[in-house]
Structure 1
Amino acid sequence: MRRRGPGAEHGRVTETIPGLFLSLPEVLLLLGAVALLVARRLPPAARRPVTVAAGAVLVPSALVLGVVGLRWQMLPVLSGAAVASAFALPPLLRRGAGRPAWRARWWLALPGSLACAGLIATGPVAAWAFPVPVFPEPTGAFAVGTRVVQWTDPQRPEGFTADPDDRRTVVVQLWYPARKSPAGVPRAQYLGRTEGEARTVSEALADGVGLPGFLVDGVPRARSRAVVDAPVADGGERFPVVLFSPGSSGVRSQNTAWAEELASHGYLVAALDHPYDSSVVVLADGRTIRTATVSSGDRDKDAELAAGWTAVRAADLGFVLSRLERLDHGETPDALAGRLDTGRAAVAGHSLGGAAALQAARQDRRFDAVIDLDGYPHGPTAPALEQPALALTQEITAGTDPRYLPRLTEALENNTATSYRLTVPGAGHLTFMDGPLYLPPVPSIVGTLGRTESPRVVAAATLAFLDATVRGRPGDVADALRAYGTVSSSAGARGTATPAPEPRG
C-alpha cells in the first residue's frame, strides 16, 4: 500500500473550492467575519446568537489555518473580524455582566463598519487575483504519472563553473500515460518534489520578476493532476516523446498543465531544468543552484549572450533524448523501458526555450518536429530546419519588438519541411505557460483568454500539430490549427503534407 506523504492531509484541507479560490476553512473564516460585521445591525433578539455563532465559526477556522498555513490573503479578513468584534462584543459582555448595554451612535460606528467591510472584502479579491492554482483535468484517455530524474553528461564540462571536473547535470521531470490511481491518492506537488522545494522555486521565480515572494504563496500549495510514480499504462503501447525547455529563468514545471494534457493523450513529456539558467534548480543531494544568466543591457551583447545560452540548452535537449533512448532500451531497470517510441520525437520550448528547441532541431535530426511557444529565435538560422515546425505567438502589435517577426519568419521559411505560425487572439507571453492559472488576470501579463481557456487552447493546438506530424494522423494541419487563431504556413521542399517519420528504434 502506498504511504501517504507528510502534508497529504494538509493538502486536502487547503484545497481550494473551484470558482471561489478559497479553501473550506478560508470560506468559513470569511463567513464568520461577515456574520460578526452584520450582527450589530440585526434586531436585538438576533444579535447575541449570531455573534456567538460567528465566533464559533471564526475561532476554529483561524486555528486550523494557523496549523496548515495562513495565506496572506486572509490577513485582511482577520483584521476586519478584529475590528467588527470591537463593536459586536462589548454590548454582549456588558449585558452578560448585568450592566446596561451601550452601543455607539451609528455615525460613530459607520467609519469602523466601512473599514471592516473593506478589509473583509479585500480577502476574497486578493485570493482571486493570486489564487492557489487549480489545474485542468486532462481530457485524454490516460491517467497521468510523473517523476523526476537527474542525469549527468560525462562528455560535457559544466561551462558555468571553473571546476574542470564538473560535468553538466540536468534535472528532468517526466509525465507519462499511467493507469488510473485509486481515489484519494495524493496528487503531485506543483513546482517541486516536496513543498519545501516548491517554496524555494516559487520564491526564486517571484524574485526574478521583482515580486515579493508572499504574493504567490499559494503556488507551492498547489497539486497538479498527475500521481507521483503511478504505474505505467497497460496495453504495451509505445509513447512518442516530447522534450520541453522552459523560458528564460523558467523551470521544468512551468508548463505542467500542458505536459499533463499531452501525457493523457499518449505522449511522454520530458521537461528540463537548465542549471545556472533556470531561476533555481534543486539537485537530488539537496544542493541549490541559482541562476547565473544575467543580461547586460546592451542589445548586441545580450543577443550574443542569449545565443550562447540557447546553444547550451540545445545540447541539454539532445543529451536528454539520448538518455531516454537508453532508458527505453533497458540499460537500467525501469517501468518505462520498452514503452518509449524515441523514433518519434518532438522538441518544444517557451520563450528562450523555444529558441533552444529550434536550435536542437537543426543540430539533431532525431527530432521529427519542433514547437516554439512565443520564443524569439536566438542564434544562427543555419543549417536549415528539416522538420515540420509550429510557432505559437501572441498578436503582433506596435509594442512588439520589431525584430521579432522578421527573425521568426526567416527561421520558419528556412525549412525544407512545412512550417506553421499560429497567432492566438487574446494571448499574452505568459499565456503559453501556467501563469494564467495563478497570476492576476491582467491582459498585459497573461492575455485575455482566461484561466480555463488559456491552457486549453495552447495544449489543443499543440496536440493537433503533434498528432499530424509525429503520429501521422490524416488531416490538414493548417485547417486544424485555424480553430485556435490565425494560421500562416510556408511549404518546404517536401510539400504541404509531411508523412509520419519512420520509427528509428
Structure 2
Amino acid sequence: MEYVNLVFLIAFFVALLFFIFFLKKKSKHRFLKFIFSLILFMSLIPLLFMSFLPMNPISEPEGNYDVLNDRFYISFTPVKGNYETSTGLREIPINVWKAEGLNNYTGILIFSHGANGVDLSNEDLFVDLASRGYYIISLSHPYHSFVSEMSDGRKIFTDPDFMKSVMKSQNSEDYINSKKTYDSWLAVREDDINNILNTIFEGEFPDKAIDDEKPNIFLAGHSLGGSAVTSVARKRPEDLKGVIALESPLFGDITGADEKGFVFNKDKYSIPVLNIYSDASWPHLKDWPAYEGNLHLLNSNSFDVRNVHIEGIGHLGLTDLYLTTPVLTNLFDEGLDKKDAYEALEEINKEILKFLEDFS
C-alpha cells in the first residue's frame, strides 16, 4: 500500500516537472505548448488524489449477519455553558450499525470520537461488531466534531476556539488552567453521552429495537472520546458492563491541580477497563503528567483491567483515517504508521471483541 502511494506521488511530481519544463522550453507555438503542458499535468492530478485519498474500503466483516446502517437524532436541554445547536437545545446526530433481522442483540457499544473526529472514525470496527450481533451507536459531538450533519440539513463544523484550546493544551505545564480546560471539554461530551444513555434507560431511544438491551452496555472512545467515556464510567458504573479507551488520558480522574502537577483519583474502576495504546504514547506514559492515571492502571494486577500496545502505528492509526488517507495519517502521526492499515485495525478489532465477549 505504502509503495503504491509512493509511486503515485513520484508520478505527480514528475508530471509537475514536465509541466514546468515544457512551459520554459522555447517554442514558436507557445499557446499549443501551454495547452499540451496543461493537459499533461491535469491528466495526472487524479494520481495526487489517489495518493492522499485512496479511500480504501473497510474490511469485510467476519460475523454471520448482514449489517444495516441508520441515522437518528436526539435533542435535549444542555447543561449551561455547553454548545446549543438551536435556541435552548442541543441535537446529537448518531450513526447506528446493527445486524439485519436480529431481535436480541449481544450488547450495545456507544462510541465517542476524538477531537475534530467524526462519527465514522472507526467504521471498520463498528461494522464487524454489528455483524457479530452487537448494536453500535456512534455519536457526533457538534462543535467538537470535524463536521456534524444535523436533522435540518445544516452542517456544523469544529469550533475554532475549541481547537485552539486543544492545541494550547499540548505539553502545557499550566496544570491549574489545563484542568479547567479538560473539565470544559468533558462537560460537553459527558452531557451528550449521558443523554444517550438516559434515552435508552427511559425507553425513548429512537430505535425501539434495543428496548430489551439495557443491562449490556459498553462505552468506547478514541482520544478525547475515550477520556469522556472513562469519566462517565466512573460516575455511573451501575449502568455499564465495561469501558474501552483508545489512547485516552484519564481526564475525569484528575481531581485537582496545583503548580506542581495534577492530583488523580486512583480508586479502582468498578467495571472492566480496556486501554489500547499506539507508539505515540506507549513510550511516554511515565513522562506525560496527564497520563499518570493511565500509568496507575498499567501497573494494576486486576483481572478486569487490560492494557494493550498496538505496535507500528501512531495515534490516528487507531482509526479508519489510516485507511482513507494513509499518507496524510502518517504525516500527522510523524512517521509512526509503519504497519499495514488493515493489519493494525484487525488487531484493534480483535482486542475489543475479546474484551466484549469476556465481560458481556
TM-score by length of 1: 0.54
1:291 to 114, 134, 158: 158
Quick check: which has more Rg, 1 or 2?
1
**In structure 1, C-alpha distance between the alignment counterparts of 2:50 and 2:355, rounded to whole Å:** 36
When residues 159 and 168 of structure 1 are mapped into structure 2, their CA distance, relative to the original with a 3 A threshold, is: farther
Shift of 1:280: 2.7
Deviations 1:165-222 (A, max 9, x none): 61333211111111xxxxxxxxxxxxxxxxxxxxxxxxxxxxxxxxxxxxxxxxxxxx
Where do residues 413-452 of structure 1 align in structure 2 (5 Å cutoff)? 418-441=304-327, 442=330, 444=334, 447-452=337-342
Where do residues 118-267 of structure 1 align in structure 2 (5 Å cutoff)? 123-124=46-47, 126-154=49-77, 156-157=78-79, 159-160=81-82, 166-178=88-100, 233-234=101-102, 236-267=103-134
Shift of 1:119: 8.1
**In structure 2, C-alpha distance between the alignment counterparts of 1:123 and 1:332, rounded to whole Å:** 43
When residues 362 and 137 of structure 1 are mapped into structure 2, their CA distance, relative to the original with a 3 A threshold, is: same
**In structure 2, C-alpha distance between the alignment counterparts of 1:163 and 1:278, rounded to whole Å:** 13
**In structure 1, C-alpha distance between the alignment counterparts of 2:233 and 2:305, rounded to whole Å:** 13
Deviations 1:368-389 (A, max 9, x none): 1010101111132546411111
2:357 to 463, 467, 472: 467
SS in 1 for 2:252: coil
**In structure 2, C-alpha distance between the alignment counterparts of 1:121 and 1:437, rounded to whole Å:** 22
2:224 to 352, 361, 365: 352
Retained in 1: the 8 A contact 2:285–2:291?
no
Retained in 2: the 8 A contact 1:157–1:167?
no
Matched, 1:371 2:244: yes
**In structure 2, C-alpha distance between the alignment counterparts of 1:265 and 1:163, rounded to whole Å:** 35
Retained in 2: the 8 A contact 1:429–1:445?
no
Shift of 1:434: 0.8
The one-letter amino acid of 1:455's match is L
The one-letter amino acid of 2:248's match is G
When residues 313 and 392 of structure 1 are mapped into structure 2, their CA distance, relative to the original with a 3 A threshold, is: same
Shift of 1:397: 3.2
**In structure 2, C-alpha distance between the alignment counterparts of 1:172 and 1:332, rounded to whole Å:** 11
The one-letter amino acid of 1:306's match is Y
Retained in 1: the 8 A contact 2:72–2:206?
no
How many matched pairs? 314
2:275 to 391, 411, 421: 391
Higher relative contact order (CA 8 A, sep 6+): 2
Root mean square deviation, CA, Å: 3.9
When residues 447 and 430 of structure 1 are mapped into structure 2, their CA distance, relative to the original with a 3 A threshold, is: same
Deviates more, 1:285-294 or 1:461-470: 285-294
Deviations 1:329-362 (A, max 9, x none): 4x58856154x52211110000011111110111
**In structure 1, C-alpha distance between the alignment counterparts of 2:221 and 2:334, rounded to whole Å:** 21
When residues 167 and 463 of structure 1 are mapped into structure 2, their CA distance, relative to the original with a 3 A threshold, is: same
The one-letter amino acid of 1:374's match is E
**In structure 2, C-alpha distance between the alignment counterparts of 1:246 and 1:280, rounded to whole Å:** 12
Identity across the alignment (%)? 23
**In structure 2, C-alpha distance between the alignment counterparts of 1:359 and 1:237, rounded to whole Å:** 29
Task: Identify unmatched segments of 5+ residues in structure 1.
Answer: 1-18, 22-29, 35-72, 84-89, 91-108, 179-232, 471-505
Retained in 2: the 8 A contact 1:371–1:389?
yes
The one-letter amino acid of 2:337's match is G
The one-letter amino acid of 2:224's match is L
Task: Identify unmatched segments of 5+ residues in structure 2.
Answer: 23-28, 254-263
When residues 351 and 166 of structure 1 are mapped into structure 2, their CA distance, relative to the original with a 3 A threshold, is: same
**In structure 1, C-alpha distance between the alignment counterparts of 2:275 and 2:209, rounded to whole Å:** 30
Equivalent residue for 2:258?
A: none
2:213 to 308, 331, 341: 341
The one-letter amino acid of 2:197's match is L
Shift of 1:401: 5.5
The one-letter amino acid of 2:320's match is D
Equivalent residue for 2:197?
A: 321
**In structure 2, C-alpha distance between the alignment counterparts of 1:142 and 1:446, rounded to whole Å:** 35
Retained in 2: the 8 A contact 1:310–1:379?
yes
Shift of 1:399: 10
Retained in 1: the 8 A contact 2:58–2:323?
yes
The one-letter amino acid of 1:252's match is D
Retained in 2: the 8 A contact 1:256–1:434?
yes
Retained in 2: the 8 A contact 1:147–1:174?
yes
Retained in 1: the 8 A contact 2:250–2:291?
no
2:185 to 309, 312, 324: 309
Deviations 1:121-178 (A, max 9, x none): 7754651332123221111111111111111224x34523589961333211111111
SS in 1 for 2:209: coil
Retained in 2: the 8 A contact 1:362–1:384?
no
Deviations 1:213-271 (A, max 9, x none): xxxxxxxxxxxxxxxxxxxx24x333300111100121211111111111111111111
When residues 20 and 413 of structure 1 are mapped into structure 2, their CA distance, relative to the original with a 3 A threshold, is: closer
Equivalent residue for 2:257?
A: none
Deviations 1:41-99 (A, max 9, x none): xxxxxxxxxxxxxxxxxxxxxxxxxxxxxxxx8xx69x97xx8xxxxxx9xxxxxxxxx
When residues 302 and 123 of structure 1 are mapped into structure 2, their CA distance, relative to the original with a 3 A threshold, is: same
Matched, 1:458 2:348: yes
Retained in 2: the 8 A contact 1:281–1:288?
yes
When residues 282 and 413 of structure 1 are mapped into structure 2, their CA distance, relative to the original with a 3 A threshold, is: same
